[in-house]
Structure 1
């Protein structure tokens, strides 16, 4: 899965709303500027608003149409091309506006002066916009690095206690059930391959397979105390998930719901498609009152939530709910075909 590209951020709903509101603010400044007749400021605001929105939205449309070739260029070259598109759209719109009677004065040369003023204003606004976007993208990149460090922390957390428990289980199975011991080691290898050397993102089917491998291992350790239920379709929907986004939730379910309960419990993993999203639910029964509680530091869920929110294209999310006798964690991911329309 490729990294999120800087241009993708321009076409998110919040960015589009910011562009429209910023254009209205600029139109208001132009209407309230010196040299405008006090009685016609409302008309001037309407005309300025129309022109600014044509320029802003027209530039965004041009960038959107050219987003694929632009994504292959360096960030600096892309920024200059976007600024050039803004100036070109400004010249086109202001040139057309200068031909409309009553928009510009009738004195000779005023048409050209009007276009040049608009170009100068667009240049200033464009440079300020590039600086703001550069700061935004730098902050976003730092946030992604922070989330990657959380993944590294999560990977480090997966290793110690789980590895020791699994090896102890494998050692106990070697003589009496060698086939089970062999399968346990194969499942363990798959989990640690993903934890130590996996990419940042993987397919949802791979994440579910990793969770199944983990449950297979824990089933050997807990025996009849761990009961699992799967409610999955025959074909898993095409969706991208952060690496290690389902397995930590399954681990939490066992650690806090099954392990403290003397009689064990049930872990349910279900998948459902709702609109353009796919929802993966991990549900576990709660330990009875008085059972020894397992204290956690919350790295698992917080890391999963942070990396879901950093998904490229469209963010995912983690929803949690605790009931009278069960705890539910739901990973919500955008479907791949929904991402392709963005």
Structure 2
């Protein structure tokens, strides 16, 4: 029987962070300095505080910390392919060996006073480095597990929200096709094929984010279906030339906004109306605006409409944080639905999650 070996964790999921990063280095230096204070204060008290002793111990410990960070940073890709226990033992071994090496150098050049040559000194330094590195690695491991749990919960939440949107979208599209079955069977058949292509594209988009180009294509197919029902009453104006094709956006975000515009701005009006889709991306921020004319009489918001907007707002907040927003306003005889969220990277972010 063939045994299955566990796949190595991706480098981004490795519990030991990239210690060469400035933030990680600053944290290690501050923690090392706290350790120096503990070691110095733990020694027998003298009449005056020995600042020279503090400086020498600080130099000794900081050299160990910086050397360990540099070595572990270089070994990180290799350690990430090992099991967590083996990787942790390897990290501890590196720190202990560097500690012993720095102790030998300090003894050789008499940086801490006359050389003692006692094995107890090496054993003491090795035990301190082993304990501190074990505690720090344990902290890194717990932080990594917490991040993985948060990511899994976020993914489950997004999938649940997206699962609520798809039936809502399907039922409205089928209603549009149903109006053509009796009056124009040939066009109804073509609409079914368009719907099949639309859902094939939607279901083929893995992950929580898709490219802006795919989202636009999805919405154009939806509008093609609605054109069978509204005919010349439906007019659409696209102003999205300045948006990169690979800008990441949650799937089925634009289509529900356009659908709401048709329900509230085109369907109630005998003459129909113009749906304007405007989007721009600048300074790391994406803005999307869908507008439609106001109906002569107020159309009550359906539960599906409210749920669709709430789901889009929830997905934006879950993916892009509190800076993401979705707002609704009326001015100059038109109804505007606007969404905004920060987006500093393009293809790389679209591949995340």
Indicate the TM-score class for this superposition, using the shorter chain for normalisation.
0.7 to 0.9
TM-score normalised over the length of structure 2? 0.73
Which stretch has the larger CA shift, 129-138 or 251-260? 251-260
Secondary structure of residue in 1 paired with 2:276: strand
| Residues in 2 aligned to 1:173 and 1:100: alpha-carbon distance in whole angstroms | 92
Q: Which of the numbers 189, 204, 209 marks the counterpart of 2:214?
A: 209
Alpha-carbon distance change, 17 to 270 in structure 1, aligned in 2, over 3 angstroms: same
TM-score normalised over the length of structure 1? 0.75
Alpha-carbon distance change, 71 to 321 in structure 1, aligned in 2, over 3 angstroms: same
Q: Which of the numbers 281, 287, 291 marks the counterpart of 1:281?
A: 287
Q: CA deviation at 1:53?
A: 2.4
Gaps in structure 1 of 5+ consecutive residues:
310-316
Alpha-carbon distance change, 4 to 248 in structure 1, aligned in 2, over 3 angstroms: farther
Question: Would the aligned equivalents of 2:100 and 2:122 in 1 still touch at CA under 8 Å?
Answer: yes
Alpha-carbon distance change, 85 to 304 in structure 1, aligned in 2, over 3 angstroms: farther
Q: CA deviation at 1:109?
A: 2.5
Q: Which of the numbers 57, 70, 79 marks the counterpart of 2:79?
A: 70
| Backbone CA RMSD of aligned residues | 3.7
Aligned residues: 314
Larger radius of gyration: 2
For 2:318, the equivalent position in structure 1 comes to 306
Gaps in structure 2 of 5+ consecutive residues:
1-8, 267-272
Alpha-carbon distance change, 20 to 236 in structure 1, aligned in 2, over 3 angstroms: farther
Secondary structure of residue in 2 paired with 1:39: coil
Q: Which of the numbers 124, 131, 134 marks the counterpart of 1:127?
A: 134
Q: Determine whether 1:334 maps to 2:345.
A: yes
| Residues in 1 aligned to 2:16 and 2:132: alpha-carbon distance in whole angstroms | 20
For 2:39, the equivalent position in structure 1 comes to 30
| Residues in 2 aligned to 1:37 and 1:95: alpha-carbon distance in whole angstroms | 27
Q: CA deviation at 1:134?
A: 2.2
For 1:267, the equivalent position in structure 2 comes to 277
Deviation digits for residues 152-183 of structure 1, max 9, x if unmatched? 20231122110111222234456253445422
Secondary structure of residue in 2 paired with 1:334: coil
For 1:247, the equivalent position in structure 2 comes to 251
Q: CA deviation at 1:259?
A: 4.3
| Residues in 2 aligned to 1:17 and 1:292: alpha-carbon distance in whole angstroms | 56
